[in-house]
Amino acid sequence: MRSVVGLVLAVALVLAGAGVAGSDPEPYADPDVYRESAGADEGPLAGRVIVIDPGHQLGNSRFPGRINRLVPAGGFQKPCNTTGTSTNGGFPEATFTWRVARSLRVRLESRGARVILTRSSNSLREWGPCVDRRGRAGNRVGADLKISIHGDGAYGGGPGFHVIAPPDRRPWTHDIYRPSLRAAKVVRHRLRSADLPVAHYIAGGDGLDIRSDLGTLNLSDVPTVMVELGNMRDRRDARRMTSRSGQAVYANALAAAAYRLLR
């Protein structure tokens, strides 16, 4: 009898740990948690500090009260965060940005950079951080560069990326708009060099947009760009953005841009 009870308990524990066969309690989640590294003592980017901001968070939709509250965004207020978009097949922007950010982190750390991520997980149990925290990330440590990673969700817009930089807007971005614009142009060049298409449905079709309404840019005191790496609602971009090989292409291009800017 004891052996039967023990067998039943063992089976129950296995099922509890694995979940129901064929199901995932956190679809599209990534179980590992990011921990900031100190950076290497050697390498072409040794001594450099780079902030990577993976847009959104997988669990934002489960915390509407938190993500809809207003926070400072640079002379005005905006909601803390949004749920982000997804492919037509349901692959979330939050997971895409997280995976590209992790791949980019590995590439930058291998060259000696110290990397700071604005969120430490990709989980349905988490929300945020808010755009004001993302915007201020890196300010205290005097980061050399901040890259905010996103995916667009334009129905019928077609494929392509575009890069966003802040305008000269006193007192918020006057100190960073020139180096941020330079960084945006370098990022655009590296994405083009990777044979990635430029979006023609937005920003005049040249892949470069200037916006004053984004807290992530407005609250930064370090050179910052936001990049919409593709249109997740376009089937061609979606195919690339959901694949590990495609995510590596984006990470390689962003790493090349950071290297060009900071070496």
Mark whether 109 is an active-site residue.
no
Give strand ranges (E) for 88-223: 114-117, 145-152, 162-165, 208-210
Beta bridge partner(s), residue 209 = 164
Query: Residue 17: is it exposed, middle or buried by C-beta count within 10 angstroms (0-12/13-18/19+)?
Result: exposed
User: What's the rounded Cα separation, in Å, for the pair 86 and 84?
Assistant: 7
Catalytic residue among 93, 109, 126, 228: 228
Q: Which of 92, 217, 130, 82 is nearest to 209 (CA)?
A: 217
Q: What secondary structure does DSSP assign to 71-122, as a single string?
A: EE-SSSEEES-----B-TT--BHHHHHHHHHHHHHHHHHHTT-EEEES-S-B
Active site residues: 228
